């Protein structure tokens, strides 16, 4: 049996980490699959990984210390900050050494890199007879330097897998002078629910990391207006992250404790249950490479509303068909669409029906077949 090794930074919380777990599970029925994770942040992976997938940690006893460094700096503990800085350099040194060593010694037929720095090391140190694959999840957001770094890192690879058609089109032009071929493969839904949401519950929902790019402060502002007109409705926010305290304070300052509930991180079964009990999905992200939470929500039959600044949303939402895309981060326009769907049950059910149909192309079996065809066609 051929072997596939996936290079991961960690197996904790995060969209990339969820995709790594999903891909490993998909391929494990056809290949021997191994995940090489640099850090072991938790006793076990956050997202379920099948038993036959082997997991090896490269720096099992070391963890990133950036937060400790900045905390010491903010408290003006300069000696502690200096020690943390030195420790940080040591961790980065060992990260580089261990990953490069693992690439050089790998007995895999396929090596898949999931970060740009891994792309570069795989390009430089991957064996000749290994299929070298980059897997780019992040959008360049018109950042030319970032895009140049991706091209530079991946030009020595065999394949660069992009999670959106927009990204494939963009990088295909940039990679034209190099042998690396760009391929589009979307992320996948682990399961499609057997039953769909009734869309009759007075629940709004949003799922994601509580970090600046997700725009949750903007969502709280929208909720403040909604709470005055529709006090019997409720907003559930699932996720955790660095902005949690700030978001909690914003909710408290606007007296929204009864209108909004922060649920923290929840496992996939809880998320699925809460989506099933909701009627409208709200995304306020500034940027979004793919937006897997959108297809999860749509698989339950929820109409989705998002700002078009979230690039991934533009690929998934067909405005007026399965949800709405709001241009120029126009809060009034966003609020109006929420109100339209709150007031018009028939409209949200029509959009929800279309949403269910439009995400079938992200089924696990379909995406698995695309990956298998790609690997079988290119393994050296």
Alpha helices in 300-344 (DSSP H): 311-316, 331-343
CA–CA distances in Å: residue 291 to residues 225, 297, 307, 308, 355: 26, 10, 12, 12, 14
Q: CA–CA separation, 295 vs 359, rounded Å? A: 6
Residues 249 and 117 in one domain: no
Task: Report the chain's terminal Cα–Cα distance, integer Å.
Answer: 14
The pair of three-digit structure tokens given for residue 328, joined into one six-digit string: 């120029």
Q: At what angle do helices 345-358 and 292-299 cross, to 10 degrees?
A: 110
| CATH number of the domain that residue 350 is part of | 3.40.50.2000
Residues 319 and 372 in one domain: no
Closest C-alpha to 220, from 242, 250, 255, 243: 250
Residues 335 and 372 in one domain: no
Q: CA–CA separation, 20 vs 135, rounded Å? A: 10
Q: Provide φ and ψ at 47, rounded to 5°.
A: -100, 140
Rounded (10°) CA dihedral 137, 138, 139, 140: -130
Question: How many Cα atoms are found within 13 Å in the side-chain-facing hemisphere of 130?
Answer: 25
Residues 160 and 292 in one domain: no
pLDDT digits (tens, 9 = 90+) for 191-247: 888 888 999 999 999 999 999 999 999 999 999 999 999 999 999 999 999 999 999
Q: At what angle do helices 116-125 and 78-105 cross, to 10 degrees?
A: 40
Q: CA–CA separation, 87 vs 180, rounded Å? A: 36
The answer as to whether 107 is a domain residue is yes
The kind and range of the H/E element at 221 are helix 216-229
The answer as to whether 244 is a domain residue is yes
CA 110 to centroid of chain Cα atoms:
23
Residues 280 and 177 in one domain: no
Secondary structure tally for the chain: helices H, strands E: 14, 13
Q: Provide φ and ψ at 271, rounded to 5°.
A: -60, -45
The pair of three-digit structure tokens given for residue 153, joined into one six-digit string: 């890192």
The answer as to whether 16 is a domain residue is yes
Q: So what's the pLDDT on residue 14?
A: 82
The kind and range of the H/E element at 360 are none
Total domains in the fold of the chain: 2
Q: CA–CA separation, 82 vs 68, rounded Å? A: 11
Residues 161 and 247 in one domain: no
Segments in the chain below pLDDT 70: none
Residues 223 and 177 in one domain: no
Q: CA–CA separation, 270 vs 359, rounded Å? A: 21
The answer as to whether 198 is a domain residue is no
The answer as to whether 98 is a domain residue is yes
Instruction: With H, G, I as helix, E, B as strand and everything else as coil, classify residue 32.
Output: strand
Closest C-alpha to 28, from 8, 2, 47: 2
The answer as to whether 193 is a domain residue is no
Q: Specify whether the CB–CB gap between 34 and 40 falls below 8 A.
A: no
The answer as to whether 196 is a domain residue is no
Residues 172 and 231 in one domain: no
Residues 178 and 253 in one domain: no
Residues 221 and 288 in one domain: yes
Q: So what's the pLDDT on residue 41?
A: 94
Say which residue the tokens 């530079």 belong to: 152
Q: What is the pTM of this model?
A: 0.82
CA–CA distances in Å: residue 310 to residues 150, 242, 266, 282, 361: 20, 20, 23, 12, 20
Give me the residues paired with residue 135 across strands. 161
Residues 56 and 79 in one domain: yes
Range of the domain at 273: 203-360
The answer as to whether 197 is a domain residue is no
Q: CA–CA separation, 244 vs 163, rounded Å? A: 28
Q: So what's the pLDDT on residue 74?
A: 86
Q: Provide φ and ψ at 348, rounded to 5°.
A: -70, -30
Residues 210 and 183 in one domain: no
């Amino acid at each position: 049996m051929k072997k596939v090794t996936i290079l991961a930074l960690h197996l904790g919380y995060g969209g990339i980490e969820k995709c790594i777990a999903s891909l490993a599970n998909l391929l494990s029925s056809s290949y021997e699959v191994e995940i090489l994770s640099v850090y072991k942040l938790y006793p076990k992976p956050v997202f379920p990984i099948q038993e036959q997938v082997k997991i090896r940690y490269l720096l099992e006893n070391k963890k990133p210390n950036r937060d400790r460094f900045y905390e010491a700096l903010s408290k003006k503990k300069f000696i502690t900050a200096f020690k943390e800085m030195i420790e940080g350099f040591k961790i980065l040194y060992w990260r580089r050494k261990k990953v490069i060593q693992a690439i050089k010694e790998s007995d895999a037929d396929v090596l898949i890199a999931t970060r740009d720095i891994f792309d570069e090391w795989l390009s430089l140190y991957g064996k000749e007879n290994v299929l070298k694959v980059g897997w780019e999840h992040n959008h360049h957001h018109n950042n030319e330097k970032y895009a140049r770094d991706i091209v530079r890192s991946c030009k020595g690879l065999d394949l660069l897998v992009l999670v959106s058609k927009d990204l494939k089109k963009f990088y295909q032009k940039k990679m034209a002078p190099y042998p690396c071929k760009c391929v589009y493969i979307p992320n996948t839904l682990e399961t499609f629910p057997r039953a769909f949401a009734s869309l009759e519950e007075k629940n709004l929902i949003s799922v994601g990391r509580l970090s600046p790019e997700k725009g949750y402060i903007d969502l709280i502002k929208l909720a403040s207006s909604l709470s005055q007109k529709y006090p019997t409705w409720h907003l559930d926010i699932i996720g955790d992250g660095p902005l949690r305290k700030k978001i909690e304070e914003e909710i408290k300052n606007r007296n929204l404790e009864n209108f909004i509930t922060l649920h923290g991180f929840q496992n996939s079964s809880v998320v699925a249950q809460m989506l099933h009990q909701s009627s409208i999905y709200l995304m306020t992200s500034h940027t979004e490479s793919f937006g897997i939470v959108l297809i999860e929500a749509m698989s339950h039959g929820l109409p989705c509303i998002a700002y078009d600044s979230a690039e991934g949303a533009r690929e998934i939402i067909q405005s007026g068909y399965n949800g709405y895309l709001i241009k120029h981060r126009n809060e009034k326009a966003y609020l109006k669409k929420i109100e339209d769907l709150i007031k018009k049950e028939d409209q949200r059910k029509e959009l929800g029906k279309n949403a269910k149909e439009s995400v079938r192309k992200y089924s696990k079996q379909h995406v698995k077949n695309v990956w298998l065809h790609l690997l079988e066609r290119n393994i050296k």
